[in-house]
A and B are shown apart, each in its own frame.
Chain A
Amino acid sequence: MSVDPLTGTGAEYRPAGPALDINVALDAYKGPWSPRLAAHLLRRAGFGGSPSEIAAAGQAGMGHAVDRLVHFVPDSLPAQPQGDISYQFGPNADVMQRRRAYVLTGLWWVNRMLQTPNPLQEKMVYFWSNHFTSGIGQGGISPQMMVNQNNLFRSNALGDYARLTHEVSRDPAMLLYLNNNQNRAQLPNENYARELMELFSLGVGNYTEADIRESARAFTGWTVNRRFGETAVFNPRFHDDGSKTFLGRTGNFTGDDIVDIIMQQPATAKYMARKFARAFIYDDPEPELVNALADRFRAARYDVGVLMNVILRSNVFYSDRAYRAIVKTPLELVIGAHKSLGATRVEPAALAALDRMGQTPMRPPNVAGWPGGALWVNTGTLLMRVNYLNQLALAKSAAAAAGNTAMGDGATMMDDMASQQALRMPANVADPSQWVSGVKMDDPAGLTDRVLWMTVQGDATPQQRQTILSYVQTDSVGNKVSLSMENFEEKVRGAMSLAFALPAYQLS
């Protein structure tokens, strides 16, 4: 081998399409607007769009569609999981109660993703939760603490990143997750200080091991009081108020001082700009693009709303280079499919499926969050994805199948969960005839095109279209069949399931 094997390639995951002109990349997009680009916007700035949401954004035009996303309206969704999420620690804890609390908490969040009138707000909650990571049940983090942290991300969704970093530094779930609870003057624990710099702000290479040790001293004293509502408390007895030297400055620093100093470093804006670019534009952003975004972010004094407004209106965001250039996370895949199918609610089975796809809500694999990109795409997870979507498309509505309508009530639903039946119900989807409403029964080609539009906005090859059409028109032994009252629903469900297996559907 003459090539240096250690250089790797990775080139195939670089953005495709014409090279970027950095001078206009962040300028407002003035090109043609279409439902296809509207669907792209709704996938990136939310969890995908239902057919009617895509149509509305397509008609609104780019400017209005983005306005609608960035200006949040009050929602009437529950701010808290419905049901008992209390949680006991220790060896005598009730395992069933703990599991129930986890499920209720996870369900609460994924249902917000599906039902929210403010998709960008929920998308940012997801972004922040995968940035400032914490894991439910880890280090004694209770479901209620995770809910509170989740709501902190919600109220700061498009807010001030610096302020959010301050608040996260004394968030009870975070204090426990990175052991700041155990960080005391006499015996420092460096875990939070290290991850704050490595993963939450500066990025590797912009601080030293000594900076970690010194800043850990500044964060001493913050702990969690479990007796009074699991709140954060500052205990001066445990705080090291000696002089610290951090990033070249010396003083009697507190944790807040450390965050302030971090925010003054240009590296922080750059690190965050790259993270935003990877989450919303494409995985391997050019350094020039990152620098341009970092400049805007600093100029806006870390106002995330300003930055997201730039990104979601930009030429680069609507370029061929960005289109379907991100691998859907399991959450995006599952919630998006629910929207396509007109589901009103996400059922517990979705949580088990997300777990098998490698993304348990509120339990990232480690403090770096879900790695994403090519790592979502492997033989195991792709089978899980395709199988879950198949199950979803083939599912009869839970209410219809169970013969009751009590599933909406959280507590009742949890009782139902004990009967395995509810766990098997993947969704409360709309009637399949609604998926293809307007298509005549004697028009299999029209039905195929409708299904391809709902799932991948037509992003299929001619052969793929022909394959689905042939499914609609034939049976398993190859005999020609006509669509009829008897086979219509089954064929629509099957066609949808096949379309979900298209490679385009795996991409955002």
Chain B
Amino acid sequence: MMSNRRQFIVQSIGGFAGFLAIDSIFARAARAAAASGAAAGAGRSLLVVNLQGGNDGLNTLVPFGDPQYYRVRPTINVAASDVVRLDSEIGLNPKLAPLKPLFDQQRMAILQGVHYPNPNLSHFRSTEIWQTAAPDKYVDTGWAGRYLDFAGRGTAPNLFAGVAVGPVLPKIMVADKTDVPTIGDLRGFRFNGTRDEQAEADKILGGDGYKYPFQSPYLSLVQDVENHAHAASTQLPHMVAGYKPAIEYPKTPFGQGLNLIAGIINANVGTKVFYISLGSFDTHVGQRAAQDRLLDQLATGISAFYQDLAAHKVDDRVLTMTFSEFGRRVEENANRGTDHGTAAPMFLFGGGVKGGLYGDHPSLTDLDYGNLKWHTDFRSVYATVLERWLGVGSQPVLGSQFSTMNFV
């Protein structure tokens, strides 16, 4: 797997030292992005937002018209008078009010009752299932990572094909051939050495020579990632230098992460998939306060993000999709919280979205061991995003063919 990456390193990065070379690499990345833009899905990107910890769908998208909702949730319900109504039965948690304008502009789609067969109630396994798109087996790559490999085949590797915000590479972005940079904040994303060290550090981080006196399963990974980190970190400040946010983002890590993503989108270097997470939604205890705080971060962040993108006239190029490993138990527990459950809604935002509510709200009385019954397979959502938004066949990424939907 590493030979492609290695060739790229030798050809395009190995010899450079200094700003001129960096700028020329940056220009090359932009040209490559423009060239690959000839295909369907040109210039489009996907932002995946992980609502980590199992977001309770019932208090996010509230079935206020169903008396059963108030019966099973006597203390943690959202009062009908507080709900931001979308129709006569369903509405948003009041903390999501900043998203209502997007809904009214048909730029927000809500898919109800999404999950997968034989729901797994473990945070880790279920998160892994959503990230690998493989409910019935263990696989090493994420579905976005496989898409990046597939979309990038036959072209020069793009160091910014995918970008994950945060310190740890999420499994959704794990690929065979594509390294996805994880970026916490811009200031820390560079090598700090003295001037004297810099030239030699370029060689060491650039991975000179592969004749090691030992073997290790991780050796080429570390070497390649050091190389990519060094190259990406010298490019990133140039990429976002010309970008000025049109609106002040919330001072939360989520808001600041979206701001960074907007900067990279404006650089137009062909990033196909972004990832950011928000959490923890694991509200076994005292759910209202904890979930409301997070939904507030979600709504104010996404609202600012799309206002900023619109001001830069790129809002039509970015589709945002949320997911969470599962929803929560229908009935509240004794701690004013909820335990692990199943189906939940997914949200999609962006100029390409056909807004509105999709699918029926799962019944609150016809349950599966106390949990909602799902009706939409999450892989249909992925297939739709891949085929209709990113313009690739979904079968090679998902392993099977799934029906697509009409939300985009």
Contact = CB atoms under 8 A, between A and B. Distances in A.
Asked if A and B are interacting partners, one says yes
Interface of A: 1, 4-10, 12-17, 139, 179, 182, 184, 186-187, 189-191, 194, 198-199, 204, 209, 282-284, 320-321, 323-327, 356-358, 365-368, 371, 374-375, 377-384, 386-387, 390-391, 394, 458-464, 467-468, 470-471, 475-476, 490, 494, 497-498, 501-504, 506-507
Interface in B307-336: 333-335
A323 B180 contact: no
Contact of A179 (B183, B335, B398): B335
Which among A4, A198, A378 has the greatest number of chain B C-beta atoms within 10 A? Answer: A378
Interface string B109-127: 0000000000001111100
A464 B197 contact: no
A459 B192 contact: no
A379 B220 contact: no
Interface of B: 1-2, 121-125, 132, 134, 137, 139-141, 146, 150, 164, 166-169, 174, 176, 179-184, 188-201, 203-205, 207-223, 225-226, 228-230, 232-233, 280, 284-285, 333-335, 339, 369, 396-399
Nearest to A463: B209
Given A6-B139, A17-B215, A471-B197, A382 B222 contact: yes
8 contacts: A190-B339, A194-B121, A199-B124, A204-B122, A209-B121, A325-B217, A501-B201, A501-B226
B271 to A, nearest CB: 14
A386 B205 CA distance: 9
A191 B1 CA distance: 41
Nearest to B173: A378
B188 A384 contact: yes
A358 B168 contact: yes
A391 B192 contact: yes
Contacts of A9: 1, 140-141, 176
Nearest to B210: A461
Contact of B219 (A179, A368, A378, A507): A507
Given A356-B167, A498-B200, A502-B204, A507 B189 contact: no
B211 A380 contact: no
Interface pairs A-B: 5 shortest CB-CB: A187-B334, A8-B140, A463-B209, A380-B182, A379-B229
Contacts of A321: 215
A379 B225 CA distance: 6
Given A323-B215, A378-B182, 14 more contacts: A5-B150, A5-B398, A9-B176, A13-B221, A198-B122, A325-B216, A378-B181, A383-B191, A463-B208, A476-B196, A498-B201, A501-B226, A504-B219, A506-B222
A5 B146 contact: yes
B335 A464 contact: no
Contact of A14 (B174, B183, B217, B284): B217
Contacts, number: 236
B369 A1 contact: no
A16 B2 CA distance: 16
A320 B183 CA distance: 34
Contact of A182 (B121, B232, B335, B396): B335
Contacts of B220: 12
Contacts of A394: 194
A476 B212 contact: no
Nearest to A376: B168
Contacts of B228: 379
Given A179-B284, A458-B213, A383 B229 contact: yes
A375 B164 CA distance: 13
A70 to B, nearest CB: 26
B139 A8 contact: yes
A379 B233 contact: yes
Given A182-B334, A507-B219, A390 B192 contact: yes
A257 B179 CA distance: 48
B193 A12 contact: no
A459 B216 CA distance: 11
Contacts of A182: 284-285, 333-335
A382 B150 contact: no
A380 B214 contact: no
A378 B168 contact: yes
A365 B124 contact: no
A320 B215 contact: yes
Nearest to A18: B215
Given A187-B333, A394-B194, A507 B216 contact: yes
A461 B209 contact: yes
Which among A199, A324, A365 has the greatest number of chain B C-beta atoms within 10 A? Answer: A324
Nearest to B204: A501
B125 A204 contact: yes
Nearest to A187: B334
A464 B191 contact: no
B204 A8 contact: no
Which among B123, B168, B194, B223 has the greatest number of chain A C-beta atoms within 10 A? Answer: B168
A12 B218 CA distance: 7
A377 B122 CA distance: 25
Nearest to B221: A377
Which among B141, B174, B204 has the greatest number of chain A C-beta atoms within 10 A? Answer: B204
Contacts of B1: 9, 12
B194 A503 contact: no
B217 A283 contact: yes
A323 B190 CA distance: 30
Contacts of A324: 214, 216, 218-219
Nearest to B190: A383
Contacts of A502: 204
A6 B162 CA distance: 19
Given A204-B125, A382-B225, A468-B200, A189 B339 contact: yes
A387 B189 CA distance: 10
Contacts of B176: 8-9
A186 B335 CA distance: 12
Contact of B217 (A13, A189, A462): A13
Contact of A377 (B194, B201, B225, B397): B225
B358 to A, nearest CB: 26
Contacts of B212: 459-461, 504
A505 to B, nearest CB: 9
Contacts of A384: 167, 184, 188
B191 A4 contact: no
Contact of A16 (B167, B193, B203, B217): B217
A461 B284 CA distance: 52
Nearest to A388: B192
B200 A471 contact: yes
Contacts of A490: 194, 196
A12 B219 CA distance: 9
Contact of B399 (A4, A186, A189): A4
Nearest to A3: B396
A356 B197 CA distance: 23
Contacts of B190: 383
Contacts of A191: 284, 339
Contact of B199 (A326, A380, A476): A476
Contact of B194 (A4, A494, A506): A494
A394 B207 CA distance: 23
Contact of B215 (A16, A365, A498): A16
Which among B192, B200, B218 has the greatest number of chain A C-beta atoms within 10 A? Answer: B218
A464 B204 contact: yes
Contact of B169 (A10, A375, A471, A498): A375
A503 B219 contact: yes
A4 B141 CA distance: 12
Nearest to A461: B209
B204 A179 contact: no
